[in-house]
Amino acid sequence: MIRFEVFTLFPDIFLPYLESGILHRARKKGLVAINLHNIRDWTTDRHHVTDDLPYGGGGGMVMKPEPIFHAIESVLGDPHGCPVILLTPQGRKFDQAVAADLAGVPFDEPVTPEHQIGLLCGRYEGIDERVRQHLVSDEISIGDYVLSGGELAALVLIDAVTRLIPGALGDPDGASKDSHASGLLEHPHYTRPPEFRGWSVPEILLSGDHARIARWRREQSLLRTWLRRPDLLHGAHLSDEDHRYLNNLGDATEE
Ligand code: ADE
């Protein structure tokens, strides 16, 4: 089981998402636990204050260090024996490889991970720098844009990591087929009816020829990645046949 210990000022934000779909099922199966801790519960003053004015002036409020240290040390121990990740736009960029690393599941390997991860969600304009320096072990950003807090980013991380735990998806191969799992974007999908408003499902998918279907899907995946995210091709695992297909695409557009 992977245990996420989430430290936030807004635990309620998490509930509907954690109670739906794959996360709900993974929690029920005991593959993942998500424990929510309200930082406000670790304040010691009468008004439960978690933020204060920035030293040096300027706008905005800064999250105070004491309740954050108190919360994390109470729940995870001092010193804590697990990573504590601050969600912030200043962190290293989150992607499928980081998710796999946090899951502790190498791609395609059926091991059941067993560990704990602390997630700290920032709010207000910032967080006292001493939290960064002396409490958190890692900082992660989910993209180059600024959210109102780290809660959505924490949910993104929890979701992406949970999908990688063996047994979390209905399809045992599900996660290895996802876009990005192989370093490529996924091929197109179709379901019934075979014709809808005059638009037909590609003939090959109805052919029953599994080898040709697999090759078609692979080529669609390569084509999509080449068109939309050529940067991903550098890190993808490609066969000689894949290289030949991509070279042909290049040649075709140069003519
Ligand atoms: N908090 C605010 N913006 C964020 C981002 N882009 N990633 C992670 N945490 C954030």
- The per-residue DSSP string of 85-110 comes to EEEEEEEEEP-HHHHHHHHT--TT--
pLDDT of residue 155: 98
**Selection from 28, 150, 10 nearest residue 90 by Cα:** 150
> For 84-88, 121-125, 230-234, which range has the lowest pLDDT when averaged over its residues?
121-125
Q: Which residues are catalytic?
A: 89, 125, 163, 178
Give me the percent of the chain exceeding a pLDDT of 90.
Answer: 86
CA-based end-to-end distance of the chain: 54
**Selection from 82, 250, 99 nearest residue 179 by Cα:** 99
How far apart CA 170 and CA 167 sit, in angstroms, is 7
Question: Taking CA 7 as the corner, what is the angle to CA 5 and CA 11, rounded to the nearest 5 degrees?
Answer: 100
- Beta carbons of 111 and 105 less than 8 angstroms apart: yes
Which residues lie closer than 8 Å to 140 by C-beta, 6 or more apart? 85, 86, 87, 88, 91, 92, 93, 94, 98, 153, 157
pLDDT tens-digit profile of 47-98? 999 999 999 999 999 999 999 999 999 999 998 889 999 999 999 999 999 9
pLDDT of residue 204: 98
pLDDT of residue 111: 56
**Selection from 34, 24, 29, 38 nearest residue 2 by Cα:** 34
In this structure, the residue with its CA closest to atom 2 of ligand 1 is 147
The answer, yes or no, to whether any atom of ligand 1 lies below 6 A from the CB of 65, is: no
Residues in the chain: 255
Question: Taking CA 104 as the corner, what is the angle to CA 186 and CA 168, rounded to the nearest 5 degrees?
Answer: 55
The answer, yes or no, to whether any atom of ligand 1 lies below 6 A from the CB of 55, is: no
pLDDT of residue 22: 97
**Mean pLDDT of the 35-58 span:** 97
Per-residue confidence band for 215, with pLDDT thresholds at 50, 70 and 90: very high
> Is residue 37 scored above 70 in pLDDT?
yes
pLDDT of residue 14: 98
**Mean pLDDT of the 41-51 span:** 97
Averaged pLDDT score across all residues of the chain: 94
CA of 91 to the centre of ligand 1 (A): 8
Look at residue 217 and give its three-state secondary structure. helix
In this structure, the residue with its CA closest to atom 9 of ligand 1 is 88
pLDDT of residue 255: 63
How far apart CA 72 and CA 222 sit, in angstroms, is 44
Phi–psi pair at 224, nearest 5 degrees: -60, -45
How far apart CA 218 and CA 188 sit, in angstroms, is 10
pLDDT of residue 182: 84
The answer, yes or no, to whether any atom of ligand 1 lies below 6 A from the CB of 142, is: yes
**Mean pLDDT of the 140-161 span:** 98
pLDDT of residue 11: 98
Which residues lie closer than 8 Å to 171 by C-beta, 6 or more apart? 177
| Mutational test site, ligand 1, from 10, 86, 87, 95, max ligand atoms within 8 Å of CB | 87
How far apart CA 194 and CA 89 sit, in angstroms, is 45
> Is residue 169 scored above 80 in pLDDT?
yes
Which residues lie closer than 8 Å to 213 by C-beta, 6 or more apart? 204, 205, 207
How far apart CA 217 and CA 189 sit, in angstroms, is 9
CA of 160 to the centre of ligand 1 (A): 16
pLDDT of residue 109: 53
Per-residue confidence band for 231, with pLDDT thresholds at 50, 70 and 90: very high
Give me the percent of the chain exceeding a pLDDT of 70.
Answer: 96
The answer, yes or no, to whether any atom of ligand 1 lies below 6 A from the CB of 143, is: yes
The answer, yes or no, to whether any atom of ligand 1 lies below 6 A from the CB of 145, is: yes
Specify which residues 65 forms β-bridges with: none
CA of 122 to the centre of ligand 1 (A): 8
The answer, yes or no, to whether any atom of ligand 1 lies below 6 A from the CB of 146, is: yes
